[in-house]
Amino acid sequence: MSEKNQTFLEVKDLTVIYTANKKIVQAVNHVSFSLKKGETLGLVGETGAGKTTIARSILRILPDPPAKMLGGEITMDGVKISALSEEEMRKIRGGKISMIFQDPMTALNPLICVGDQISEGLMLHSDISRDEARKKAGEMLEMVGIPASRYVEYPFEFSGGMKQRVVIAMALACNPDLLLADEPTTALDVTIQAQVLDLIADLQKKLHTSMILITHDLGVVAQTCDNVATVYAGEIIEYGTKKDLFLNPCHPYTVGLFDSLPSMVGDEERLKPIAGLMPDPTDLPQGCKFNPRCPYATEKCRSGEVPNFEVSDGHFCRCWKYAKEAI
Amino acid sequence: MARYILKRLLSMILILIAAAFLIFTILYLTPGEPARMLLGGTATEDEVRTMAHTLGTDRSYMEQLGEFMINTFVRFKFGNSWLYKVPVMQEMNNRLPHTITIGLISMILTALIGFGLGIIAGTHEGKWQDSVTMAITMLLVSMPNFWLALLMIILFSVNLGWLPAYGIDSWTSYIMPIVASTLGGVAMQARQMRSAVLDVVRADYVTTARAKGQTERKITMRHILPNAAMPAITMLGGHLGGIVGGSAIIESVFSIPGVGLYMLAGINARDYPVVRTCVLFFALVSSIAMILTDIGYAYLDPRIKARYTNRKRKEEKEA
Ligand SMILES: Nc1ncnc2c1ncn2[C@@H]1O[C@H](COP(=O)(O)OP(=O)(O)OP(=O)(O)O)[C@@H](O)[C@H]1O
Ligand SMILES: [Mg+2]
């Protein structure tokens, strides 16, 4: 709506826990970030870091119980969506904000034909007849490369990659302002992956959609994102432009993450995995969450929260190594 | 779909033939000669031999079996009662209405109430609706139906005098038998439906529907219930069969002149034509119940539906 450089989505101090067997999983801890109109933010981080939980919190579809949003304020387009009533939020879901789910195999209702699952959302958010919705849903299918004649088929008649495309068609059907794409290409083979990313990029350009892209795949990040945030144990530990993170990764974890990529040019003989495991989210370490695995950890890292230091303009990192620059 | 139903009907006929074979063989192998049992202890050897000849029980197993199978499945003749000499079918016609009334109403109630309670409990997990339903169904599942029937007789007939304790005089006579043969199945069906609902409410596609902005009511109606009904429907067939099977017990407790009681009398008197016909009737009713639930299942599950309509759709596509 307004000019391009204005903040479109702002997440402040988001904290989410899961309660499982009397244990508390600290899935997301004080996460803040913002996103401009038309921009793409990549969330990277290993499995269990809390990426999906962040996306679901924005759409307010956390499973409650066991999930509980302890704190946080989410503002989109000037509206504080974290404070909306359930009914108002329902109208935003699938309309202004939509989500592509991680697992296409289970994201579709096995008993409803795929076309009807797409038109279901269309009829909820625009004032169109059933026939018009069907027609539009057919067009959406064509757009993701599935013949519209397969409208009447059921999810079991589709391959995993095609299901993922149906899920994408479903998410894009109502021209969302914000797209939460949770590993949209993980289930796809490389050629289709590129097609799907192009497709999303096209739409983004056309509709000026902002996107949060969750992925393990740094190649996908390089191809699509403007900014990148590294998520570790429920925290954003580094945030910056794509260039910042690829050319000048600062946090030892980000460095390790990017190092563990196979390199085309280098002649390193082996990949370098990051030593150690993600901490148990029910029992996070004191201080920096990465300190047990960090080769540079000092006494300071083992107590107290690490502040967010600005390494360079717009490039933030939660690591004491950069304290000098900040003060 | 027609192909599917046809296939199920064919398999039902096979099941009935198998049931007829089994019941005939079991009765044949039962120790004790029917002719002697029918005549009583005072009969002479000669009388027994003459009787056995009249009944045809002095012939070989194969001869008797062949005659029985042909009579049953080709001529649709079920013979006369050995004890009362009247055609079994004539007696069945008098008794069927009672058994079918109780059975049919119980089946419908089991399905409706069982599904309804399960849905309420499952969609209110942990709330009072859930706890109350679970407590009551737990109690009912562990209560044998004849005992429940006796308790009801003591309360409603003996103490309160509201309902007749036995026989069939008016529609009020049906109330207690129906309740007694319904509650156990209702309880089991409700518990199964509840766990099916609990499985489905956490399913990803329910979250997908919510993410589309669908209302909670529609999410329950369109996404949760049909999916939860699938496993519960499979169970339903078994419970419906159980109701028919249980009719012998319920009819004895309430002295209802139905097929179940007829079968028990037949067993006691070694009146084999009666026993065979009753058993076949029960087999028929349970298979019909099974088929109906299978068709319901196929109707809901596109995977089964597709298997039988694929050809048609492919042709359409090519056209
Ligand atoms: N329904 C749940 N109940 C309990 N704990 C949960 C639940 N969902 C997620 N968690 C926990 O919350 C943490 C964050 O999970 P989340 O799904 O957000 O991770 P993720 O970053 O999306 O991982 P992945 O890359 O594997 O998708 C994990 O420790 C996980 O075990
Ligand atoms: Mg995830």
Closest CA to B84 of B278, B271, B275, B281: B271
Asked if the model's pLDDT at residue A1 lies above 50, the reply is no
Say how far apart CA B68 and CA B257 lie, in whole Å. 26
What letter represents residue B72's amino acid? T
Helix (H) or strand (E) holding A267: none
How far does CA A67 lie from the centroid of its chain? 18
With bands split at pLDDT 50, 70 and 90, how would you rate the model's confidence at B5?
confident
Q: Minimal Cα–Cα distance from B5 to chain A, Å?
A: 20
Query: Is the reported ipTM for this assembly greater than 0.90?
Result: no
The answer to whether A311 touches A317, Cβ cutoff 8 Å, is yes
Span from the CA of A93 to the centroid of ligand 1 (angstroms): 21
Structure tokens given for B46: 């000669």
The answer to whether A201 touches A224, Cβ cutoff 8 Å, is yes
Indicate which atom in ligand 1 lies nearest the CA of residue A51.
21
Span from the CA of A185 to the centroid of ligand 1 (angstroms): 19
Span from the CA of A101 to the centroid of ligand 2 (angstroms): 9
Antiparallel, parallel or unpaired: β A178-182 and A210-214: parallel
Residue ranges of chain B assigned to CATH 1.10.3720.10: 89-318
Residues B11-33 have pLDDT tens digits of 999 999 999 999 999 999 988 88
Separation of first and last alpha carbons in chain A: 38
Most confident of A185-189, A203-207, A261-265, B76-80: B76-80
Indicate which atom in ligand 1 lies nearest the CA of residue A54.
18
Residue of A nearest to B307 (CA): A157
Task: Tell me the HSE value of A258 on the side-chain side, using a 13 A CA sphere.
Answer: 19
pLDDT > 70: what percent of chain A?
93
Span from the CA of A215 to the centroid of ligand 2 (angstroms): 9
Tell me how many helices (H) and strands (E) chain B has. Answer: 15, 0
For atom 27 of ligand 1, the residue with the nearest CA is A47
Q: Hey, is B69 helix, strand or coil?
A: helix
Q: What is the DSSP string of B102-154?
A: HHHHHHHHHHHHHHHHHHHHHHTTTSHHHHHHHHHHHHHHTS-HHHHHHHHII
Most confident of B50-54, B168-172, B313-317: B50-54
Best B124, B125, B130, B208 residue to mutate vs chain A (most A CBs within 10 Å): B208
Helix (H) or strand (E) holding A151: none
With bands split at pLDDT 50, 70 and 90, how would you rate the model's confidence at A71?
confident
Using a CB cutoff of 5 Å, list residues around ligand 2, an ion: A 52, 102
| Rg for chain B, CA atoms, rounded | 24
Helix (H) or strand (E) holding A97: strand A97-100
Q: Is ligand 1 within 6 A of the CB of residue A27?
A: yes
DSSP class of residue B159 equals: I
Query: Which residue in the set A107, A125, A149 is minimally distant from B205, CB to CB?
Result: A107
CATH architecture of residue range(s) B89-318: Orthogonal Bundle (1.10)
Inform me whether the C-beta atom of residue B300 falls under 8 Å from chain A C-beta atoms. yes
Lowest mean pLDDT among A157-166, A279-288, B11-20, B63-72: A279-288
What letter represents residue B188's amino acid? M
The answer to whether B223 touches B202, Cβ cutoff 8 Å, is no
Residues A21-56 have pLDDT tens digits of 888 888 899 999 999 988 999 999 888 889 999 999
Q: Is ligand 1 within 6 A of the CB of residue A47?
A: yes
Say how far apart CA B241 and CA B218 lie, in whole Å. 33
Buried b (16+ CB within 10 A) or exposed e, B55-68: bebbeeeeebbeeb
Asked if the model's pLDDT at residue A326 lies above 50, the reply is no
Q: Minimal Cα–Cα distance from A189 to chain B, Å?
A: 23
More reliable by pLDDT, B56 or B1: B56
With bands split at pLDDT 50, 70 and 90, how would you rate the model's confidence at A269?
low
What letter represents residue B303's amino acid? R
pTM of the predicted model as reported, rounded to 2 decimal places:
0.80
Please report the pLDDT score of residue A56 as a whole number: 94
> For A101-114, what is the mean pLDDT?
90
A149 contacts B205? CB cut-off 8 A? no
Please report the pLDDT score of residue B193 as a whole number: 92
The answer to whether A225 touches A40, Cβ cutoff 8 Å, is yes
More reliable by pLDDT, B264 or A261: B264
> For A268-277, what is the mean pLDDT?
65
> For B173-187, what is the mean pLDDT?
89
With bands split at pLDDT 50, 70 and 90, how would you rate the model's confidence at A280?
confident
Q: Hey, is B196 helix, strand or coil?
A: helix
Bond prior to B31 in cis (omega within 30° of 0)? no
With bands split at pLDDT 50, 70 and 90, how would you rate the model's confidence at A2?
very low
Q: Is ligand 1 within 6 A of the CB of residue A277?
A: no
Please report the pLDDT score of residue B317 as a whole number: 52
Closest CA to A309 of A234, A247, A241, A239: A239
